[in-house]
Structure 1
Amino acid sequence: MQCQAQDIEAWESGAGDPQGIQRAGYARLLAGLLALDAPPQSEAGAPEEPPAPIPRLPRQTEPQPRPAPQAAAPHRGTRRRPGFPRGPLAVVDQTGPALTAFFADQSSTEIPADHLVDLLQWAIDAGIGRDALSSHDRAGDPLLVLTPAASQFLGLPMDLEDRARLRLPDSHPQIVNLRAAGFKLTRRGFGPWARAYLPVTDGKRASVQLAVTGWGALSDRDGWNLPPLAPAPLARLLGTYADRVLTPRGSTAVCGQELMTALRPPTRGRWSHTDRRRVSSPNPGALWEPLDPAPPEAHDAHPLAQGRLPQDAMDEEAWDWSRTPTDTENAAFAHVVGLDINLAFIAAASSASVGLNSPPRHIHNPTFDRKIPGTWLCDLSHIPTDPRLPSPFTSTGQPPTGPAWYATPTLDYAVKDLGATIKPLEAYLRDDHGPYLTPWYERLRDAYLATMAEAGIHQDIPQERFLQAMNTLPEADPALLALLSAIKATGKGGLGKLREGPRETTTPYQRWAALDSPTWRPDIRAAVISRARVNTHRKMIKTAERTGRYPLAVLSDCVVYPAHTPSALDVVPSGPDGRGIPGLFCLGVNPGFAKEEGTRAISWFHQQHSQGLNPARYIKNS
């Protein structure tokens, strides 16, 4: 419907109020007029002053004085991207009788929207989003984080009645209004993390991500563990996460999975001489489509696991192992110290060659080839292991008793480092392979190091100074600690998504939604865990050779050693420059280095171990 001159005159005088599509169009007109008077751009592309609030449309209620949104200096962890001057997201809150958007650079503006449709249209036109993370990625959609007050202002319920599916019913007035305005929703519907989009027009897409905090978005359950924050500092924290990782799209685990896809999208555009236009084609080095796993790799609930014997399932998992100290250790040491390996499994993903797009090729009596990712049936029970060390071949740390299925890094370690002779009985091999997770690791590594540096903990500092700095880390800004936790949870959760189980109770051995994702790849997860485990075992051996010290317990990425004094410096030797010795455990901020997890008396260790508990689980200092 076109606007008439008398309508515009009425709106300008306050005698009338535009509605629906007319209202959104008038808002865009005002925003465009405002842009003509925008301050000059600096060389970096950012306004020399914070942008002025967009004029608000007149309301039919009595006019009230409104507080002017305040702007602050940009946070050093965020930057305005050339294509998106507003940054990647906005936290939307109600301030007085209107909505206000708080941006990552700590500027804010009033939003000319009374309804959800208006808000979405404003977000599409407001310059919110992020640049592509890779050459074949697409730009990130704007994210609107709705506070409970904003949700109530927009007519959304405070709670979701459908607790099973966590979504508004399709008959809800807000959903009806969205559809009437041409917006569509993804199959997940309108829930805590909703995505609304308009049909593609002239090759351009318009999509908005919503995070409804009152319904559980950004909650502890999703791995965020955020402190109570006002809208402005929340926008700064999330903006820094978006700048260093990616714009939040769900739980931290979902973000970890989405980051893999953003850095290596399944398709890329290329010019077709036949069609004389750009067409979509598979992107080399990416995961293109869902693949069924090899039977030993399948999750216990997977259809391929039906009738499978326990010994026929691959057990490439992290360690859960402990042992009784020897008499010599009891006499020599009064303490135990836990070493926690920084980003152990994320670091193991770096440069790891994993299967890509070829289905597993089954072969009998293969010759082992360390260059081919795969799952191998092999008997490693003949390889001698020191009882003071966990076996590198099992998650329990106990030596294997017969043939079992292993990922390539485990067998490679047996052959290359331990000098074993092996004869695989069967294998499922993947001929198409490559370092799929390397850019993912690098992105998370850089995010982690930048955040630790912001906390005052830098690379390449002596081990003693590192320990001192880590002792003061808990006193840092809670928002900064939450950001650090979210980055680590993104990596851990992303790897977990590679073997995600069914979310709901279903009939046994029936497919579930995650299996239809190209990134549901238990073989990749197994290879990463295998690599992390043998990396740690290698350091244990070198530490024993250098110091005569052997671990007492291991849980995942935490290793407990006996110590003379309650300090990690008693366990980890230093070189002449005060830094760690390559090949051994080193104290430092780098991924793969270690930090002090906790210290206890050795009597405490005995108490835990005698109760059948793994002391590595509980050694962390409270």
Structure 2
Amino acid sequence: MTDANTASLIVERHVVIVTGSGAFTVGGDVLTGPVDSVDKLEKLIEWAHGNRGLLQPIPAGDADADPARIWVVGAGCRHLITPDPGAGDSGLVEQLGRSLAPLVGRGWELRHGKGRAVVLARGVGAQRVSVEIVAELHPWLVGERDDLVEDAAELGRRLHRWSAVLGALPAGSGAASAAVINDRIMRARAGRRGAVVSEPGVLPANVMAEIRVQPPWCAPASEVEEEFEHSDQLVWLTQECPELAAAGTLTFGYGQPQVLDAITAAAASTGQKRPFGLWRVTLPPAGDMRLPQMLPPPHPQMRLDTPTLAWVTTEDLDGLAKDVRDGGAGLPAARLGIEQAIVWPQQTRLLEAWSTRLREAREEFANDAPLRALVDSAAAEYLQALADPEPWADPAWRQHFQPAWAAAIAARVRFRGRRAAMRISREYRLWPVYARDAAMIYATGLDEATGEPVDLSDTHSRLGRMTVTHQAAVTDELILEVLTAENTAEVAAALSAALEGPGQRTPIAVAPKMEASNPRGVESPASETAAVDADQGPLNGASVTAKGSAAKDDVTPSPTTAGTQSGRASNRAVSGGAPAAVLHTDGLWLADGTRVELGPPIVHVGQVAELAYTHHLGYRLTAKYNEPGQIWITEAACQEFGIDVAAISRRDRAKSLRQLTENIDFVTGAVNEGWSLGGAGEDPNAHRLGTWTRVYRDDKRGVMIALIPGMGTGADEMPILSDEPAPAQIAKRLQLLADALRFPWKINAGVTAVDLMLQTRTKTWSPQEWRDVVFAPSTTAPPFGIGDVESDFDWSRRPTSDERQRRYIHAYDRGGSYVAGIAGLELPIGDPIHHPDGAPFNAKTPGYWLVDIPETPDWRLPYVLNPRGLQFTGPKWVCTPTLERAIELGYQPQILQAWLWSRHGRVLLGWYERFRDASAMLDLDDPDAQAARDQAKIIRTHGIGIIGSDEHLKGKPAYSPERRLHVLAKAKANIVYRLHQIGEKTGQWPLAVATDTVLYASDDPDPVTAWPGGPESFGRGFGQYKPEGSGLLDEHLEHLNGRDYRGKRDLIPAREWRANLCTDAEGC
């Protein structure tokens, strides 16, 4: 390896760095000012090469020299490349070629270089200049440090060090940089002794190499709970540089492979030294082998109860044959029924020299953390990319596509991890609770001998060693989250989030459960599996048909199965994770699209309720409480059960249904067999069904039966039903909604919202205090006339003469307007204290304040103290957030009287967070997710309204008009804050505001780019603004009259407007 000083001198002669501020040597010396044209680039090349002795060819041993390099980074790219520097590094090569094309007419040769580069070459006198132009908007060499993109000195330092230690210049990515090193090694071998790989290792189409180390796997909640009993902390135990540790020690094949038949393959597999290859085997069921139940299977494709055909590597054969004690399966090749093999006669440790060079670089960079991290990144990215053809599409890179190598490396890493897990089980009697790739999560306690925390890290320093990288305490919250998990996917999410932070709380994909009968198997989320207990079998001979297709007995079972978390796993485990199923004329539809064909015809509603028990419907909320399961019955099924659907009154559906179902056979048959029906009302002897009815027996918990014909189907009431969805879609949407909110739909939006408020208790309150104190029904009546101020905006103004010259008007909707301000909002608790002479204003104290309303001199904005532009003749009551915003805007209203709550808190914070998370989780380009998202919006909107409703909630828990008024006031105050901020910053002021819609005039036809508020306030998140509608300003002036605004329905919806723009815009 070249010594550092010599290498630095060489790199100095071969590379010039171009940033936005100019051209620099690798040592950081300034060469020129900004290189912002092709002419300046040409002059730079000629001057640097001719006058400074720079840009010299890079020696490449016995091979031809490589071109010198001009490395254009950051703003330097934007100066030099046209027309679109924002396309990213992947598109810069084509742009670079187009920008440099004029040089061809001046005698320069222009060709595509290796990777993200083009090469310029031309004879200059007796010499030939050849320069590789590499363009990177964000150089890979700076890692995540955006602040270093324009730092020529640090870029040069890293380039110095990298090339000095690794013997090659870095490329535009980690994988490419590592590939360059390997290519240099291969070129040095050419013409000498040593293996040279020049062709890709493409596999036959029917051969699928297993390149996963370990798909996500998690122990069931009951096993995790057992591990928690003797644990104080979670630790994330992972292998250090696992792929790099394996690559240099493995033998890989190259050249032309051979296909072996069953007899030849079997003989080769049992030879003294197996050739490198892939072997088609039958993996026996894991359940038939004496394997540890607290570890995943030894191969990702192995199932619990079913043999599996798979292609495995030679490394897999070696690992499976080892004793279970050593991480293997005690499974010799002779027991695998080898049918075929692909082997490579030529084989050697092809990556040994490459691996050695990177290992030595890690040691060299021991005190240079950024470069050491880049070495680790390059090694991992390259070895993982061996199985991906995309990075190697360039013909110059094609030899790096080697999926069989990647599979062998994955197997080596997998069995190394299993070996470590078995050693830890012997030494510490601990098992992993979660595994993913080369890492595992353990729950650990204190060492009995020393009293210190158990350290599972290996004591040696070799690569591949097990090392603890993250630790977290086992908290009561974590234990509860695990115990209340619906499935192992949620257990995995809780464990990972505890160690990796809140960002990991999005659902984690978990390897599919092997078979439903496996109590330790990994399970998919309830929304991804059919809710049928494989042990009990379907009730009354029912059969499960996936996606409505006929079941086939001759098909090998899929790794995913119909099954949810079994009740056997723990006496605390929930019997099912699905909130609802939909009963139609062709069977029962579950959330994953599975149709359960029913056997004997259903004759009464008790049999419908029985389906909820059979398929474990219900939604767990706490360790001790589940919401009952729901069966939704379609209109067609209702008709079959004898309900006269056509006679249902649309004016009062629930009352009409009760009348139509009273004492029909479908109902009385259930009563005669011992079932009871809720909702009898004044007549306890009446037997009937409403839109929602609780059906129960004395020996079983109730089931909610929902009759879809009794529900509204409008988009403003039931978005999940508004587009005539199929039964499977309804079930899926209910599942999506429940999973996103962590709470199911219940009866209607108001009930769902209020029950969710009661559910989202904070730890500072006991359950009894939460219900009896925090959410006790309010006894404080709002002061007379407060609605004049505490109401939604309904305001417009006439455009100025300058504004009237603009062509368009755009309306923007504020997302989650009411709930957006809840996160930091102090809300009243209990009764207020009266201050008849007023009190000093405190923005943190909720209250009603009687104030004189001053006149507003600012006609450009709606007035926060008079949102509808009314004529006030005296003082008015306002809430704290309104008065706070008025004071911040410079008004000084006199406080005459006050009702203030000394006890207060952010009691709706948890409720708000559920909707915030659900809105983000469901914001997908999927109609079912969008329907569920819209349903969540209905819930939160109704929730804010109903807590102040005398008609629906007065005297009941959560009734609190003062909280509703404070939430409304906060939303109004925040709207004014944003409008004022935009106006002061840009000079653009709204023309109208109606509730949570604001309108601006613009000359830009695109409402997205016309938004005046900047990117931080634009989007689909809570409190952000998104386009709602647009139109021509001239045609909208009648609605901008200085009074209330009524023009929204005359605007063209945003999606339609933008679609029309696209038809006229090239490339839209």
Instruction: Calculate the TM-score normalised by the size of structure 1.
Output: 0.71
SS in 1 for 2:589: strand
- Note closer, same or farther for the CA distance 1:154–1:606 as it changes in structure 2 (3 Å cut): same
The CA deviation at 1:443 is 0.8
Q: Is the CA contact 1:79–1:243 (under 8 Å) kept in the aligned structure 2? A: no
Question: Whose relative contact order is higher, 1 or 2, with alpha carbons under 8 Å and at least 6 apart?
Answer: 1
Report if aligned partners of 1:341, 1:558 keep a CA contact under 8 Å in 2.
yes
In the alignment, the residues of structure 1 paired with residue 757 and residue 642 of structure 2 have an alpha-carbon distance, to the nearest angstrom, of 36
Indicate if the aligned counterparts of 2:794 and 2:1044 stay in contact, CA closer than 8 A.
Answer: no
The aligned residue for residue 440 of structure 1 is 911
CA distance in 2, matches of 1:521, 1:124: 37
1:326 is matched with which residue: 800, 812, 817? 800
Equivalent residues of 1:89, 1:104 under 8 A apart: yes
- Rounded to whole Å, the distance in 2 between the matches of 1:111 and 1:427 is 65
Q: Are 2:984 and 1:485 equivalent residues in the alignment?
A: no
The one-letter amino acid of 2:747's match is G
Instruction: Say whether 1:262 aligns with 2:759.
Output: yes
CA contact (8 A) 1:217 1:250 kept: no
Between 1:521-530 and 1:182-191, the stretch displaced more is 182-191
Contact 1:320 1:395 in 2 (8 A): yes
Task: State yes or no: 1:599 paired with 2:1033.
Answer: no
1:118 aligns to 2:549 (yes or no) = no
What is the letter of the counterpart of residue 843 of structure 2?
R
1:283 to 765, 770, 773: 770
Query: Which segment is superposed worse, 343-352 or 554-563?
Result: 343-352
Q: Equivalences for 1:506-521 in 2 at 5 Å?
A: 513-521=952-960
1:109 equivalenced with 2:596 (yes/no): yes
Structure 1 residues 166 and 408, CA gap change in structure 2 (3 angstroms)? farther
SS of the residue 1:168 aligns to: helix
Distance verdict in 2 for CA 1:351–1:618, change over 3 Å: farther
Task: Give the distance between the partners of 1:254 and 1:395, measured in 2 at CA.
Answer: 30
Cα distance between partner residues in 1 of 2:813 and 2:857: 24
CA shift, 1:396, in A, is 0.5
Aligned partner of 1:567 in structure 2 is 1006
For the Cα contact (< 8 Å) 1:335–1:601, is it kept in 2?
yes
Give the conservation status (yes or no) of the 8 Å contact 1:80–1:87: no
The number of aligned residues is 500
CA distance in 2, matches of 1:74, 1:80: 16
Q: Residue 909 of structure 2 aligns to which amino acid in structure 1?
A: T
Pair 481,265 (structure 1): closer, same or farther in 2 beyond 3 Å: same
From 717, 720, 728, the equivalent of 1:232 is: 728
Instruction: Look up the match of 1:168.
Output: 658
Q: Distance in 2 between matches of 1:353 and 1:613?
A: 32
Give 1:131's match in structure 2, choosing from 608, 617, 620. 620
Taking only aligned residues, the RMSD between alpha carbons, in angstroms, comes to 3.6
The equivalences for 1:443-458 within 5 A come to: 443-452=914-923, 454-455=924-925
1:613, 1:116 → 2: CA distance?
A: 51
Does the CA-based 8 Å contact 1:166-1:192 persist in structure 2?
A: no
Native 8 Å contact 2:799 2:1040 kept in 1: no
Given that residues 560 and 616 in structure 1 are in contact (C-alpha distance below 8 angstroms), is that contact kept between their aligned partners in structure 2?
no
Counterparts of 1:57-136 in structure 2, within 5 Å, are 57=540, 69-71=545-547, 83-85=574-576, 87-95=578-586, 100-111=587-598, 113-132=602-621
Greater mean deviation of Cα atoms: 144-153 or 66-75: 66-75
Give the superposition deviation at 1:527.
Answer: 0.7
Distance 1:218 1:379 in 2: 46
| Correspondence for 1:428 | 899
Partner of 2:633: 146
The separation in 2 between residues aligned to 1:343 and 1:231, in whole angstroms, is 29
Alignment of 1:6-17 (within 5 A): none
- Paired residues of 1:264 and 1:285 also in contact (CA < 8 A): no
**By how many angstroms is 1:84 displaced?**
3.6
Match of 2:711? Answer: 216
Match of 2:518 among 14, 34, 40: 40
Partner of 2:432: none
**Equivalent position of 2:503 in the other structure:** none
CA contact (8 A) 2:612 2:703 kept: yes
Q: Which amino acid aligns with 1:232?
A: A
C-alpha distance in 2 between matches for 1:74 and 1:520: 49
Deviation at 1:114, TM superposition (A): 3.4
Shift of 1:426: 2.1
The superposition leaves residues 400-430 of structure 1 with CA deviations (integer Å, 9 ceiling, x where unpaired) of: 5531111111112223x12443432222222
Q: In 2, are the aligned partners of 1:266 and 1:286 still within 8 Å (CA)?
A: no
Mean Cα deviation higher: 595-604 or 185-194: 185-194
Following TM superposition, by how much is the alpha carbon of 1:176 offset from its aligned partner in structure 2, in angstroms? 4.6
Q: Aligned with 1:83: secondary structure?
A: coil
Q: Is the 8 A contact 1:385 1:391 kept in 2?
A: no
CA contact (8 A) 2:581 2:591 kept: yes
Residue 363 in structure 1 maps to residue 363 in structure 2: no
Deviation, 1:230, is 1.8
Shift of 1:115: 1.9
- Structure-2 separation of matches of 1:403 and 1:223: 42
Distance 2:1029 2:790 in 1: 27
Is 2:603–2:669's contact at 8 Å kept on the other side of the alignment? no
Q: 1:177 to 1:537 in 2, by over 3 A?
A: same
Structure 1 partner of 2:63? none
Structure 1 residues 323 and 108: alpha-carbon distance in aligned structure 2, compared to 1, 3 A threshold: same
Which AA in structure 2 matches 1:195?
Answer: R
Task: Verify: 1:494 aligned to 2:943, yes or no.
Answer: yes
Report the Cα distance in structure 1 between the residues aligned to 2:791 and 2:559, rounded to whole angstroms: 43
How far residue 492 of structure 1 moved from its aligned partner, in angstroms, is 1.2
Which runs of no fewer than 5 residues in structure 1 stay unpaired? 1-36, 59-65, 270-279, 297-307, 456-476, 503-512
**Equivalent-residue separation in structure 1 for 2:918 and 2:645 (angstroms):** 34
Distance across 2 between alignment mates of 1:561 and 1:580? 16
1:536 corresponds to 2:975:
yes
Shift of residue 68, structure 1, vs aligned partner: 6.0
TM-score by length of structure 2 reads 0.43
Contact kept in structure 2, 1:316 and 1:526, CA below 8 Å? yes
Amino acid at match of 1:539: R
Q: Alignment partner for residue 1051 of structure 2, among 616, 619, 622?
A: 619
Q: For 1:567 and 1:285, how far apart are their aligned partners in 2?
A: 52
Asked if the contact 2:819/2:940 (under 8 Å) is kept, the reply is yes
Which secondary structure does the structure 1 equivalent of 2:545 belong to? coil
Structure with greater helix share of residues: 2
Deviation at 1:354, TM superposition (A): 0.9
Q: Give the SS at the match of 2:585.
A: strand
Hey, what's the Cα distance between the residues in 2 that align with 1:329 and 1:437? 41
AA matched with 1:605:
H
> Aligned partners of 2:630 and 2:764: how far apart in 1?
24
SS at match of 2:1015: coil
What percent identity do the matched residue pairs reach?
A: 24
What is the rounded CA distance, in whole Å, between the counterparts of 1:379 and 1:83 in structure 2?
58
CA distance in 1, matches of 2:760, 2:559: 27
Q: Distance in 2 between matches of 1:604 and 1:79?
A: 58
Q: Which residue of 2 aligns with 1:556?
A: 995
Partner of 2:877: 405
CA distance in 2, matches of 1:153, 1:430: 57
Bigger Cα displacement from structure 2, 425-434 vs 435-444: 425-434
Aligned mates of 1:616, 1:217 — CA distance in 2: 25
Q: 1:285: how far off?
A: 9.8
Any idea what the Cα deviations from partners look like across 1:31-69, whole Å, max 9, x if unmatched? xxxxxx9532464345998546945548xxxxxxx9863
C-alpha displacement of 1:184: 4.0
| Alpha-carbon distance in structure 2 between the residues aligned to 1:352 and 1:119 | 45
Q: CA deviation at 1:209?
A: 1.4
1:49–1:240 CA distance, 2 compared to 1 (3 A): closer
Distance 1:406 1:74 in 2: 61
3-state secondary structure, aligned to 2:693: strand
Residues 302-350 of structure 1 show CA distances to partners (whole Å, capped at 9, x for unaligned) of xxxxxx6xx465541110100111122223x222111211111121222
1:613 offset after TM fit, Å? 4.8
> For 1:343-362, what aligned pairs fall within 5 Å after superposition?
343-356=816-829, 358-362=830-834
Kept in 2, the 8 Å contact 1:94–1:150? The answer is yes
